Amino acid sequence: MKSLFFKRVIAFVIDCFIIDLLFVIITIGFHANERIINDAEELVLKYSNQEITLEDYNTEVRNLNYELQKSNISVNIVSFVIIAGYYFVFNYLNSGQTIGKKLCKIKVVEKGERPRLKAIILRGLIIYGILSTLYNIIFVYLFDAKEFSYGYTIVTYLESLFSIICLFMVLYRKDRRGLHDIMAGTEVIEEGGQNGKN
C-alpha cells in the first residue's frame, strides 16, 4: 500500500532531523578552520571578478575541501559515531525502529521477526551515508587532494545512485522492498504486523 511508502519517507525525514540536531548539539564547541573559510571566500571573489579560470577555481576548491576534511577529522568521527549509533545500535536495541519509524508506527523485520544487527548494518550501510563518512576518515590521510577528491566523488555518486534505486523500488514494487531490504533480507511493515504487500 502506498501509505507505507509515505510513512517510510516521513520516518526518514524525522530521523534525519534528529541526526542533524544531535550533530549540532555535540559539535557546537568545535571550531571551524577560519583560514580555510577565508580562503574559500577569497577564492569565490577571485572567480567572480574573473581573476582566475574555472580550471584554477576547481583545483583550488578541491584543495581547500581536502584541507577542510583533514582539519575536520574529529567532526567526521563524531558524525560516524552518531549515524552508526542511531541507525545501527539504537535501531537494533529498539527492535528495528528508529524514533521516526516509531512515530510513524512502522518497523524493520527480518523474516517477520526482530532483525539481527548484521541485517540492520547491511541494510543501512549505504543509504545513510556511512560509506562516504568512513571514506573521509580513512582516505584523507592515504591519498593526495586529487585522488581523494575523485574517490570521494565516486563513493558519493554510488551512494546516491543506490539510494535512488532503493527509493524507486520501495515506491513501485508490490512488496515495498528496496534493494537494501533485499540485500539484508528485511522488510518494513506496519507496527500492527501488516506487511508492505498489496
- 173 and 78, same structural domain? yes
Do residues 38 and 123 both lie within one domain? no
Same domain (yes/no): 112, 143: yes
Output the pLDDT for position 106. Answer: 95
Q: Are residues 55 and 84 in the same domain?
A: no
pLDDT of res. 153: 93
Find all residues with CB under 8 Å of 53, minimum gap 6, and list them: none
Cβ-based neighbours of 152, under 8 Å, separated by 6 or more = 132, 135, 136, 139
pLDDT of residue 29: 78
Look up residue 99 and give its three cell numbers. Answer: 524514533
Instruction: Report which residue type is found at 29.
Output: G
Look up the domain containing 173 and give its range.
2-26+73-190
44/123 same-domain check: no
**CA separation for the pair 165, 50 (Å, rounded):** 40
Q: Residue 198 has what pLDDT? A: 33
d(CA 187, CA 180): 9
Cα 99 to chain centroid distance, Å, stands at 17
89 & 181 share domain: yes
How many distinct structural domains can be found in the chain?
2
Q: Are residues 113 and 167 in the same domain?
A: yes
Question: Could you list the mean pLDDT of each consecutive 10-residue stretch along the chain, which spans 198 residues?
Answer: 82 95 88 82 92 92 90 89 95 95 96 94 89 91 93 93 93 91 94 56
